[in-house]
Chains A and B, each alone.
Chain A
């Protein structure tokens, strides 16, 4: 027993071991500290998880509304948690722990009483992004557990899934594993890993996909069948979870032909196949999707897709200025801040000091190398260009989509962007900036990563606790 414990503690010395320890520790605290259903659209994702657990992958429509018959107790648990007044986006209001207790004691699962609920917000998401949540809800249903237990169980399974996906990614990542750990332990990543949305599967499989491609690139030997299956699986999972992840499939182009097949023709066919399988799987899924276009038109931002596209083409300079305003000027500061840490319903930001420290650490993870000189030569300039190009395309894709779909016509900033949408870019840029321009000793890098990760996560926990539980006198 003692030996096992020592072995477990010794795991901290490896990057993946440290990641697992810290993620489980702080992730557990996040689960307990962030009140249930307090992240954007979490309640809607919970309902979708119920649908999936019921094998109802495609929501039905009633009177033009997309939704499903869902137990009334799911609605009641939400009411019990709110306790008569929603606290979201109102930081002066605190969460009462009694609400959780009330949800636990007074809202049992009652699947005999169901009501048709609108689930159009999450209707377009495929079941793939909800596997852990649906498993948790399914398990809860088997055990006849109250819905509040299902929520916490789902969060726990999300955390375990995230930890597993990133653990494998770190193991596969061919260089600067500690940098991957540092990025994966940024507070917002961990916060997302305990939220009921599709980000865990989408981003987790995206990181796994990137790591697998890099592992094959780095080794330059033939790809194993296991790696091929991993690429297909991760590719399908990420694209089905979030369509915008389709850009990452372009990384396949960086794979050397020899790693796939000796024949150049065959290797190209395989590459096309690796790209097409996830795309086709999404195509098939979208054939079954209900018409949810009304969702977007219901929004009252004053947006007009056609006019916005026309505006972009007619005023490309102004669109560039919109980018500038959004990312390099004061009004868009909230977006970059939310990449580092803005919890709950984006109403619990980390203070400026820690946000700045987070970005400084990101610079260190990206640019500072602690490995020998030989390593950097294995990522060729062409491959770096591919990774950079994909990151830029992904970034522009996210921005353009949100500008076209959610921002008012000719608006000076892009509305709707949240920092977390840009998570995949952080990993994509790791090989791009992997050079010997800035080097340090491994011990300094490891020490920095450990201290910075724990400091930022501890600051996040304090911020969350003060936001939800400690009253301003």
Chain B
């Protein structure tokens, strides 16, 4: 084989041919899995943000304990958790989890030689001994959130596998599931394939998918829900009851994974108002029923676990904070401004990637590239995408407005919840917000702007793919440098 042929096989020409032949989703899955698998093995156990709490809760659920119990927190305040295998707790202790990102000084903590220094990390199993531990941050989550991981923990502990192996398998399964969800969304969505492609390959998405927690499943369910509802909206056919049932199911999954994203299910209500046929009472009732089915089961679950106090900040005061928001709305708007439009909240700065307890922000240069890829993705259309011919004359505008309103309400709910439950009373900015919370909303916002803005689409598509790979390389390098620092680089 000549050099030119080899070059062609591995170069952008290959990418171009994959794009041309409509294998965008395959290309996505290859890139996603390559970087995802690297991330799975690069980050030591428990070094992903909140990963220990999530695994404790998964262990609890895998043992059939549906509800968390009150336990004593080290600070002496009210906390919730339960009995967890001592092996799992010791695994994280040996891995230095509490040191991984608890404070800025811990950014010096490295993973070099971790397994040599603590050989037991590889051996900890479920030997029957238990430790009572606080994991209030994850105690509220329902079994649906962890449906992917519970069987792995169940089977793993039954087989007496080391917890490290169980954790790695759980990470890999989560990664594969999220990858498949994006794969299906890219394959089937009728508008905005490139938006889903770019968002799926953002470092923040790959990192969340490669860790055990609620964010990976949330991203997967969110894109599937969005794909399905977009297809109904852009389809030339009228939605059937079956469509609404599936939408209700996906919406229910979405709210079960994280209730804060429930406003997205309100999009179901908009469907009857943008399709061409006259609005009938039956259609509206069906849409309303689908929306209620999506939300109500989770509201029931939330009521059942309302006894859990997730307060992680002793200086917060729920009733007084609520009263403050209601009585001083202008000041609360100011708080929102300080949170989102200044750089007061460091976790929000790294919009497109931040790993290991927010200690590895994506370098700004790669963030600029990510934003560029996101902007470009809005202006390209896939050859298989349909046009908005099925809507009423004002249908596209109503739909775009609905997308923006639903995402804005969701942002407001997430922010307000964190202001009430995590922030110090009357704090001037919201504590606890992280950019990753908004990634599921990014495709919703971008779909409101999707269009066909470029003439030579092929070049734009190639550059989007190249940018996505460069950004992931940058993020992986930053992660490697933070954790291992073995490259001959000057900056330490």
A positions within 8 Å CB-CB of B: 318, 321-322, 324-325, 327-333, 336-337, 349, 351-357, 359-361, 363-364, 368, 412-413, 436-441, 444, 459, 462-463, 466, 470, 472-473
Contacts and interface: CB of A to CB of B under 8 A. Distances in A.
Contact of A439 (B364, B454, B474): B454
11 contacts: A321-B488, A329-B365, A336-B364, A351-B340, A353-B340, A353-B351, A355-B368, A359-B372, A441-B455, A463-B342, A473-B428
Contacts of A439: 454-456
Say what secondary structure dominates the interface of chain B: helix
Contacts of A413: 491
B375 A440 contact: no
Nearest to A459: B341
A321 to B, nearest CB: 4
Interface stretch (B125-133, B143-151, B331-339, B401-409): B331-339
A113 B370 CA distance: 58
Contacts of B456: 436-439
Contacts of B448: none
Contact of B343 (A336, A352, A436): A352
Given A359-B372, A470-B334, A325 B364 contact: no
B16 interface: no
A332 B361 CA distance: 13
A355 B374 contact: no
Contact of B363 (A328, A361, A436, A441): A328
A349 B454 CA distance: 32
A356 B371 contact: yes
A365 to B, nearest CB: 11
Range of interface residues on B (Cβ < 8 Å) = 35 or more
A363 B372 contact: yes
Given A327-B365, A330-B361, 12 more contacts: A329-B491, A331-B491, A333-B364, A337-B364, A351-B341, A353-B341, A355-B364, A361-B375, A363-B376, A438-B463, A472-B338, A473-B426
A332 B454 CA distance: 33
Contacts of B361: 330
A357 B348 CA distance: 15
Contact of A352 (B334, B350, B366, B376): B350
The residue among B374, B460, B491 with the most chain A CB atoms within 10 A of its own CB is B491
Nearest to A353: B351
A437 B459 contact: yes
Say what secondary structure dominates the interface of chain A: helix
A470 B478 CA distance: 37
B338 to A, nearest CB: 7
Contacts of B459: 437-438
B367 interface: yes
B351 A352 contact: yes
B368 A356 contact: yes
B490 interface: yes
A324 B365 CA distance: 11
A255 B318 CA distance: 70
Contacts of B489: 321, 324-325
Nearest to B435: A352
Contact of A359 (B337, B341, B371): B371
Contact of B490 (A321, A328, A352): A321
A327 B366 CA distance: 10
A187 to B, nearest CB: 13
Nearest to B350: A352
Contacts of A364: 375
B334 A463 contact: no
B341 A462 contact: yes
A330 B478 contact: yes
Contacts of B337: 462, 466
Contact of A318 (B341, B348, B365, B490): B490
B379 interface: yes
A243 to B, nearest CB: 28
B13 interface: no
B349 interface: yes
Contacts of B372: 359-360, 363
Contacts of B351: 352-353, 356
Contact of A322 (B348, B366, B455, B490): B490
Interface in B298-331: 331
Nearest to A319: B490
A330 B364 contact: yes
Contacts of B453: 440-441, 444
The residue among B341, B350, B490 with the most chain A CB atoms within 10 A of its own CB is B490
Contacts of B463: 438
The residue among A324, A352, A357, A440 with the most chain B CB atoms within 10 A of its own CB is A352
A470 B367 CA distance: 30
A473 B331 contact: yes
B374 A352 contact: no
B454 A360 contact: no
Nearest to B346: A352
Contacts of A436: 456
Given A349-B343, A438-B456, A440-B455, A472 B490 contact: no
